[in-house]
């Protein structure tokens, strides 16, 4: 099969300058922008990470938005109305972030909202609550995302932060943040950590190496539609069946009854984590049913969900070409890891000790807050400008271990579109494969598709498919070719992906060279933020 570069033109990615801010005192928070719940943390003046409670004095804020007339309500109040006012509610928006408006949009009060604008409303609430609690303006944030998020999803998360008035210092992977929270004082000990993160709506597994001053991702996988809600649904359906058996009526057809049952099921699930049995009483239309449920029965009914988690654990280990004996610790993250059946399954996978001295709901936000301070310290070192309080600087930089370098791996394959002459079709050749540690470099030589080609247009894409249409275009690198080149003349292609997630693609065709720099995850430029914020309006978020 002869491999040749295709010609063709496709719009490339816009290169956007980083957002700059006038230098003043800065306050950074770490935000775990979750599918079902958000958490926020900061570093207190004594150098200790602390969770910031929201305006309702809760440590976790439900990621639910209620459009209530001219104002927007985010959190528990919105969640409590999610069925009664379903048409004015947005939840699970994290699952939609990064999608263009053609694929996801919601309209309220005559305005169309994208997923990142809706996420910005959640972040606005978190920022406002933090400012009230801390009694100072919050300027910067480190926001966490699942390790499997692609470039569009990460960029949209940055944009959401910017729209909420935050300077997004960094987007870091949730398991990386959890490991930072866990490893801060223990970095003098090299270790390979398996992060098992089962939250309300997503499941993530990551293997990382904590070595000296660095955290290196070795592998990641997950299921972003598997979480605590699936366990809740099993109880909901079980009670509904019992209700139907007793009264010949499905209580789930009534929305209010459905919502009530959902909250009862969630409470029952949590009870079963500490008690061997529970009872769920459900009333609807003047009729009621009492369903007794033992932990054993519940575990039997949800065995398939735990098995799903187990398969993903084995898969990520295999993908990283590792054995359980290579793992030193298993770190439990996410509220669902409080459940005995989940802990037992993880404990049964190997004899590796489980680490649970980090609060599983809060570890991600705490790690992000720590990374935020480290980012600002690094900036201070570069610019010489002091933006942190003396106390914070002293407390934090004197910690053993000092600054942590977080090394990531590519979450998606970076490829080039080629022409397959044998099958007369385009396909994607992987240059830097998924899960390669970054920085990474790849070099390959290809032949020109025909004689006398005037230019070679290299189409750079991201994705796991070999079909160009199923990958995300990242940009173009266009090189003029010397005259009269025969077919199959060598075109050398180099991909360099650095630690700041900047991809540099260089093309060398018989001495003619071209280079393109694709700066990823940079969000909006200041003028674009201004325009977009104006578009979002001055909605009051409470
Ligand atoms: P997270 O997204 O990490 O905050 O995880 C939230 C999920 O954990 C929700 O599905 C909660 O119902 C669940 N959860 C929290 N605490 C417990 C507990 N003690 N037992 C079982 N599930 C819990």
Question: How many Cα atoms sit within 13 Å of 107 on the Cβ side?
Answer: 3
What does the pLDDT look like over 289-306, one tens digit per residue? 999 999 999 999 999 999
Q: Is 42 in the pocket of ligand 1 (CB under 6 A)?
A: no
- What are the structural domains of the chain? 3-9+410-526 (2.60.34.10), 28-187+358-400 (3.30.420.40), 228-301 (3.90.640.10)
Please say if the pLDDT value at position 3 is more than 60. Answer: no
Q: State the closest ligand 1 atom to the C-alpha of 336, by its place in the atom list counted from 1.
A: 8
Element containing residue 4 per DSSP (H, E) = strand 3-5
Ligand 1 pocket, residue 27 CB under 6 Å: no
Residue identifier of the C-alpha nearest atom 18 of ligand 1: 270
User: Secondary structure of the chain: what % helix, strand, coil (to 5)?
Assistant: 35, 30, 35
Pocket perturbation via mutation, ligand 1, pick of 59, 79, 174, 200 by most ligand atoms within 8 A of CB: 200
Query: Is residue 34 lining ligand 1, measured as CB closer than 6 Å?
Result: yes
**Averaged pLDDT for residues 480-485:** 89
234 CB less than 6 Å from ligand 1?
Answer: no
Whether 529 shows a pLDDT value over 80: the answer reads no
Judge if the beta carbon of residue 62 lies within 6 A of ligand 1: no
How open is the CA angle 262-263-265, to the nearest 5 degrees?
65
Q: What pLDDT band is residue 13 in, cutting at 50, 70 and 90?
A: very low
pLDDT higher than threshold 60 for residue 258: yes
Q: Which residues contact 311 (CB under 8 A, 6 or more apart)?
A: none
Closest atom, ligand 1, to C-alpha of 269: 21
Angle at 89 between CA 86 and CA 95, to 5 degrees: 115
Query: Residue 52 C-alpha to ligand 1 middle, in angstroms?
Result: 19
Phi first, then psi, for residue 297 (nearest 5°) are: -60, -45
Rg of the chain on CA atoms, in Å? 25
Whether ligand 1 lies within 6 angstroms of the CB of 88 is answered as no
Task: Tell me if 267 CB under 6 Å of ligand 1.
Answer: no
Residue 474 tokens, joined: 């990242």
- For the chain, the maximum distance between any two Cα atoms, rounded to a whole number of angstroms, is 86
Angle formed at CA 81 by CA 359 and CA 541, multiple of 5 degrees? 75
Distance from Cα 336 to the centre of ligand 1, integer Å: 4
Nearest CA to ligand 1 atom 8: 335
pLDDT band at residue 276 using 50, 70 and 90 as cut-offs? very high
420 Cα to the center of ligand 1, angstroms: 49
Of 25 and 265, the one with more pLDDT: 265
Asked whether 268 lines ligand 1 (CB < 6 A), one says no
Percent of the chain with pLDDT over 70: 88
Output the CA 200–ligand 1 centroid distance in Å. 6
Closest-lying ligand 1 atom to the alpha carbon of residue 198: 3
* pLDDT tens digits, one per residue of 199-255: 998 899 999 888 776 777 788 888 888 999 999 999 999 999 999 999 999 999 998
158-167, 408-417, 529-538: the lowest-pLDDT one: 529-538
Q: Please tell me the pTM assigned to this model.
A: 0.78
State the pLDDT at residue 15.
Answer: 28
CA of 58 to the centre of ligand 1 (A): 15
Residue 11: pLDDT band by 50, 70, 90 thresholds? Answer: very low
Q: What is the mean pLDDT of the chain?
A: 86
For the Cβ of 359 lying below 6 angstroms from any atom of ligand 1, the answer is: no
pLDDT for res 182: 81
Give residue 70's pLDDT: 84
Is residue 144 within 8 A of residue 124, CB to CB? The reply is no
Q: What region does 249 belong to: left with phi over 0, alpha with psi -120 to 50, or beta?
A: beta
- State the distance from the centre of ligand 1 to the C-alpha of 267, rounded, in angstroms: 10
| CB burial readout 326-335, b (16+ within 10 A) else e | ebbbbbbbbb
Helix (H) or strand (E) holding 379: helix 363-383
Residue 484: is it exposed, middle or buried by C-beta count within 10 angstroms (0-12/13-18/19+)? exposed
pLDDT higher for 498 or 460?
A: 460
Once rounded to an integer, what is the mean pLDDT over residues 496-501? 76
Q: Does 324 score more than 70 pLDDT?
A: yes
User: Mean of the pLDDT values across residues 333-362?
Assistant: 91
pLDDT of residue 16: 31
Per-residue pLDDT, 180? 86
Atom of ligand 1 nearest to the CA of 334: 3
Name the residue of 33, 60, 270, 358 to mutate for ligand 1: max ligand atoms within 8 A of Cβ.
270
- How much distance in Å is there from the Cα of 179 to the middle of ligand 1? 19
Say how many Å lie between the CA of residue 337 and the centre of ligand 1.
7
- Kindly list the distances between the CA atom of residue 53 and the CA atoms of 48, 60, 79, 125, in Å, as whole numbers in the listed order: 15, 7, 17, 12
For residue 458, the CA-to-ligand 1 centroid distance in Å is 47
Contact 9, 16 (CB under 8 A): no
Q: At 4, is the pLDDT very low, low, confident or very high (cuts 50, 70, 90)? A: very low
- Lowest mean pLDDT of 3-12, 71-80, 120-129, name the range: 3-12
Look at residue 9 and tell me whether its pLDDT is greater than 80.
no
Q: How many angstroms is it from 77 CA to the middle of ligand 1?
A: 19
Q: Which residues pair with 39 in a beta bridge?
A: 32
Half-sphere exposure of 109 (CA within 13 A, CB side): 11
Evaluate: CB of 496 within 6 angstroms of ligand 1: no
| 94 CB near ligand 1 (under 6 Å) | no
Q: Is 96 in the pocket of ligand 1 (CB under 6 A)?
A: no
pLDDT above 60: residue 183:
yes
For ligand 1, the distance from its centroid to the CA atom of residue 218, given in whole angstroms, is: 27
Residue 152 has pLDDT above 90, yes or no: no
Nearest CA owner, ligand 1 atom 7:
200
Q: Is residue 500 very low, low, confident or very high in pLDDT (cuts 50, 70, 90)?
A: low
Ligand 1 atom closest to residue 228's alpha carbon, by position in its atom list: 10
Residue 408 has pLDDT above 70, yes or no: no
**C-alpha atoms less than 13 angstroms from C-alpha of 7 in its C-beta half-sphere:** 12
**Pocket probe mutation, ligand 1, options 58, 228, 271, 278, max atoms within 8 Å of Cβ:** 228
Q: Are 218 and 175 contacting, i.e. CB atoms less than 8 angstroms apart?
A: no
**Per-residue pLDDT tens digits for 92-117:** 999 999 887 788 999 999 999 999 99
**Per-residue pLDDT, 35:** 92
Ligand 1: centre distance to CA 64 (Å): 16
Query: Alpha-carbon distance 40 to 199, whole Å?
Result: 16
**Under 8 Å between Cβ of 517 and 498:** no
Query: Which range, 340-349, 352-361, 446-455, has the best average confidence (pLDDT)?
Result: 340-349
Grouping H, G, I as helix, E, B as strand and the rest as coil, residue 428 is strand
- Residue 356 is predicted with a pLDDT of 78
Residue nearest to atom 16 of ligand 1 (CA): 335
Q: Is the CB of 146 under 6 A from ligand 1?
A: no
Q: How far apart are CA 222 and CA 372, in angstroms?
A: 26
């Amino acid at each position: 099969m002869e491999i040749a570069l295709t010609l063709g033109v496709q719009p490339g990615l816009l290169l956007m300058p980083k957002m700059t801010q006038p230098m003043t005192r800065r306050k950074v928070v770490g935000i775990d922008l979750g599918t079902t719940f958000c958490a926020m943390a900061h570093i207190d003046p004594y150098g200790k990470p602390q969770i910031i409670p929201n305006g309702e004095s809760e440590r976790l804020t439900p990621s639910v938005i209620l459009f209530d007339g001219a104002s927007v309500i985010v959190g528990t109040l919105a969640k409590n109305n999610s069925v009664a006012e379903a048409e004015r509610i947005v939840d699970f928006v994290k699952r939609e972030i990064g999608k263009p408006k053609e694929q996801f949009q919601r309209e309220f009060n005559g305005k169309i909202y994208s997923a990142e604008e809706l996420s910005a409303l959640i972040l606005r609430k978190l920022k406002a609550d933090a400012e009230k609690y801390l009694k100072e303006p919050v300027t910067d944030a480190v926001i966490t995302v699942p390790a499997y998020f692609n470039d569009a999803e990460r960029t949209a998360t940055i944009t959401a932060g910017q729209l909420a008035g935050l300077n997004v210092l960094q987007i870091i992977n949730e398991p990386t943040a959890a490991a930072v929270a866990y490893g801060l004082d223990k970095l003098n000990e090299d270790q390979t950590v398996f992060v098992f993160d089962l939250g309300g709506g997503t499941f993530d597994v990551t293997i990382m190496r904590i070595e000296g001053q660095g955290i290196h991702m070795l592998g990641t996988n997950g299921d972003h539609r598997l979480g605590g809600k699936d366990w809740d649904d099993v109880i909901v359906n079980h009670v509904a069946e019992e209700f139907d058996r007793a009264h010949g009526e499905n209580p789930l057809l009534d929305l209010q009854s459905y919502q009530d049952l959902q909250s009862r099921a969630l409470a029952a699930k949590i009870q079963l984590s500490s008690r061997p049995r529970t009872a769920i009483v459900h009333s609807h239309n003047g009729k009621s049913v009492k369903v007794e449920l033992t932990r054993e029965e519940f575990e039997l009914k949800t065995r398939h969900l735990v098995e799903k988690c187990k398969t993903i654990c084995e898969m990520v280990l295999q993908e990283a070409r590792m054995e359980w004996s290579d793992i030193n610790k298993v770190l439990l993250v996410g509220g669902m890891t409080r459940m005995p059946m989940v802990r037992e399954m993880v404990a049964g996978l190997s004899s590796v000790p489980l680490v649970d001295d980090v609060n599983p709901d809060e570890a991600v936000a705490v790690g992000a807050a720590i990374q935020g301070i480290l980012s600002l310290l690094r900036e201070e070192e570069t610019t010489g400008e002091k933006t942190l309080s003396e106390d914070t600087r002293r407390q934090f930089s004197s910690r053993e271990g000092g600054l942590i370098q977080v090394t990531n791996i590519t979450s998606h394959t970076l490829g080039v579109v080629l022409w397959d002459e044998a099958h007369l079709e385009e396909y994607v050749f992987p240059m830097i494969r998924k899960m390669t540690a970054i920085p990474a470099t790849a070099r390959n030589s290809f032949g020109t598709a025909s004689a006398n080609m005037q230019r070679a247009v290299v189409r750079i894409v991201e994705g796991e498919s070999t079909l160009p249409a199923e990958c995300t275009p990242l940009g173009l690198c266009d090189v003029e070719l010397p005259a009269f080149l025969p077919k199959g003349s060598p075109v050398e292609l180099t991909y360099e992906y650095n630690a700041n997630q900047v991809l540099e693609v260089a093309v060398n065709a018989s001495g003619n060279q071209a280079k393109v720099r694709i700066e990823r995850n940079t969000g909006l430029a200041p003028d674009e933020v201004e325009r977009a914020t104006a578009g979002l309006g001055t909605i009051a978020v409470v």
